[in-house]
Structures are given as structure tokens and as C-alpha cells.
Amino acid sequence: MKRYSAFAVAREAFRNHLGWDRAWRAARPKDRYDVVIVGAGGHGLATAYYLGRNFGITNVAVLEKGWLGGGNTGRNTTIIRSNYLQDASAAIYEKSRSLYESLSQDINYNVMFSPRGVMMLAQTQHEIRGYERTAHANALQGVETRFIGPREVKQLCPIINLDGPRYPVLGALWQPRGGTARHDAVAWGYARACSDMGMDIIQQCEVTGVRSSGGQVTGVDTTKGSIACSKLGLVVAGHSGVLADMAGFRLPVESVALQALVSEPIKPCMDVVVMANTVHGYMSQSDKGEMVIGGGADGYNNYTQRGSFQHIEETVRALVETFPMISRLKMLRQWGGIVDMTGDRSPILSATPLSGCFINCGWGTGGFKAIPGSGWGMAELMAKGHSPLTAEFGLTRFAEGRFIDESVAAGVAH
């Protein structure tokens, strides 16, 4: 792999950019791998990357039924934060956020991590108390957050309307080192780094069955033939239930559509991420100038990768209340992704009833921010059988009642 650098850009500028390599090889599947990862989204590729980087396991294939990063990795609103209430969540999300800080250098690929700051607005007395509690919890967990008043909110985000028609802005939970990153670049960068370590990334290769013998996984059947493996990682977000069905177990997961939209590009007007959970909408501005808007999930099981119209209306109405200047903006695109929601709104990183088969799912509406940390923990889990990052996110917690209850802690949008 040729390293990307300022020097490389200058060199290529003098020879019509003919010297760039493919970022990753178009691999054909071999008969056998040590580890097969299903799903070449951010989480799957990060798992493969840290298996190689931290544990030297490089005989790895990453299988993808569509195209690389074409699922939720390419469909989210790119927000990165770690201001969670529960210790287990804060640990894995903060690990993830801190890995994002140096990810571009680590994988030699510019993921455009922008720690511009994330604020979650408090618009009721209940929310003030909730976020003050989170700020105190974060102080104990070593996550830098602070509760700020309305004046500071207005200073950080001048386009905000503090006296909205329904809910005034009473303050906010502010995480200065939260922000955004370029979502496609995260998938592409990990894929390039994995390919460089000799791993095979196989696109348009759908898994159609899981092979096992005596309760031990032995391989997968795919549309490109059978592939044997001794360890299997299922990292497929919305389709986790379908893969778990093939592997012979059931998950505490339901798949629903979550949608987002972007406006036409406008001049820079907002250099922080604002989440308004009471009115339910969140917004940031991309480097191209588009306002990136996220809203709510549909209230029923859905595999269609599009959302219902009334949710767009609700989201946009909430944001026009909060940012009156966007009322005349035209929306350019709208899309949906299938998110896997668990009962306690926390992810599952776990061994499964099928020996050698591991699952990483249940990130629900907030998976992008967790990509590096999730990959780090999942790789350790798959290589060593246990990981301090994933210990509390086991599948058995739903039978044992050890929930990591972020649904009560965070309420809505992650």
C-alpha cells in the first residue's frame, strides 16, 4: 500500500494522478479463513481491522451482500459523542470517541473527524435534572461534559431560538470533544487498512446459510460458494435477526426504519451539533454546507430502508421551531436505514449459543459514533473470548435482568 501524504499528493499532481492504487483489492473468496466477518459496514470492518492490528489475526474475510459501507454506515448523521449515563456505555462510547481522535493517523486515511462539540438541549425541568445527572456521571467516568446555561448555548450556536413556541431552551449538556466525521471515509479507510494486512473484502456476496457441526460453527454458505471458518462474526445491524435465524438462535432485537435528510447547501451558519430531544430533531452542518437532519424511527417493524412521511414532517417542524432561519430551506435528499433496536436500547456484543459464532448488533439509532470502540471490543472478544469493553453487553443479560438501560437514561435519539 502506498501511504497517503502531502508528498504523495504533490507527486501525483505532477503525473496526472495516474499513480494512485485501488484503495482495497477486489478479492475472490478462498475456501477457508480463520475468521469470517459478515457485514462490511463500519463495525464489521473495524472488527476485522483490530483483529489484525491488535491480535495479528489476518487470515480474515469480510463478506458484504451489497456494497461496502452502503448500509447504516452510509446512512447516518455522522454524530460522535460519548455522554451516556451508564458506566458500561460511557466506557465503550468514550473508547470509541478517543479512537476517532487519532483514527486518521492510525489508518492513514482522512476520516475528517471534527470535534466541533455536541450539545443536547434541555427544554424541560425534567431534562435539566436528567442532563445535570449525566454531567455528574460523566465526571466520574472521565468523560468531559458540562451543563451550560441558555446564554452559553446562544453564544455557541447563534442561530438557535431560545424562546421557542412550545419549549424554551433552558440549557444544554455540552460535550466539547464530540463532533462529526466523514462516514464513508471511516468505512473506506478501515477497508483499505484491512486489505493492506492481507484480508479479503468480498462485496456482493450474500450469506445464505450458517454451517455448523456438533454446536460448533464450521462455515457459511454464500452466493459466491461455501466458505469454511473456525470463527464467525455477525455484524449486520438491521438484518441481525435474519442471520441469527440462519445460525439457529433468536435475538431480543426488532428492526425499524430510521430516516435522515439533508438540505440544499448554504453558507456556514452553525459549527456545533445540536440535538433537541424534547421536540425531537437534531442538526449539524456538513463541510459542503448542507444541513444534516436526523429524526425519529418509525413505530413498526420494517426492512424497507425508507421512512414514513409524517416523521419527516415532525422532525422538520421541531427544527423550524428551534432554528427559525431554516424555514425556507429546501430539502435535497431523504433516506432511511434499518436499525436494530434492543429491549434496553443498548448494543449486544456477545458470544452466542452456537460455539465460535459471535454477534455484534443492537446499536439501534446510534451506531456510527461507536464504530472504532465496537470494533476494538469485538476483536478482543473474538480473539480472546472475553473483553472488558463488551463484558456487560452479553446476550444473556436479557434473561438475567442486568440491563444497561439507556432507553430510560437517554430517552430518545442516540
Compare residues 98 and 305 and give the one whose CB is closer to other proteins.
305
Distance from C-alpha of 380 to C-alpha of 250, rounded to nearest angstrom: 24
Q: Are 127 and 167 in contact (CB under 8 A)?
A: no
Q: Are 360 and 47 in contact (CB under 8 A)?
A: yes
Distance from C-alpha of 142 to C-alpha of 290, rounded to nearest angstrom: 33
H/E stretch holding 342: strand 331-342
Distance from C-alpha of 77 to C-alpha of 84, rounded to nearest angstrom: 18
Distance from C-alpha of 31 to C-alpha of 407, rounded to nearest angstrom: 43
**Closest separation between CB of residue 206 and other proteins, Å?**
13
Compare residues 162 and 242 and give the one whose CB is closer to other proteins.
242
Task: Report the number of secondary-structure helices (H) and strands (E) in the chain.
Answer: 12, 18
**Closest separation between CB of residue 298 and other proteins, Å?**
8
H/E stretch holding 407: helix 406-410
Compare residues 385 and 401 and give the one whose CB is closer to other proteins.
401
Compare residues 342 and 350 and give the one whose CB is closer to other proteins.
342
**Closest separation between CB of residue 38 and other proteins, Å?**
15
**Closest separation between CB of residue 300 and other proteins, Å?**
4
Compare residues 10 and 399 and give the one whose CB is closer to other proteins.
399
Compare residues 48 and 253 and give the one whose CB is closer to other proteins.
253
**Closest separation between CB of residue 409 and other proteins, Å?**
18
Q: Which of 326, 338, 335, 328 is nearest to 285 (CA)?
A: 326
**Closest separation between CB of residue 131 and other proteins, Å?**
28
Pairing outcome for strands 225-234 and 357-361: parallel
Distance from C-alpha of 43 to C-alpha of 63, rounded to nearest angstrom: 13
Compare residues 214 and 299 and give the one whose CB is closer to other proteins.
299
C-alpha separations of 311 from 298, 334, 380 in Å: 7, 11, 39
**Closest separation between CB of residue 299 and other proteins, Å?**
4
Tell me, what DSSP letter sits at residue 73?
Answer: G
How many CA atoms within 13 Å lie on the side-chain side of 379? 23
**Closest separation between CB of residue 293 and other proteins, Å?**
20
Applying CB under 8 A, the residues found at the interface with other proteins are: 239, 241-242, 250-255, 299-304, 308-310, 342-343, 398-401
How many CA atoms within 13 Å lie on the side-chain side of 352? 31
Q: Are 401 and 267 in contact (CB under 8 A)?
A: no
Compare residues 302 and 350 and give the one whose CB is closer to other proteins.
302
**Closest separation between CB of residue 228 and other proteins, Å?**
26
272-292 as b/e, with b when 16 or more CB fall inside 10 Å? bbbbbbbbbbbbbbbeeebbb
Compare residues 284 and 342 and give the one whose CB is closer to other proteins.
342
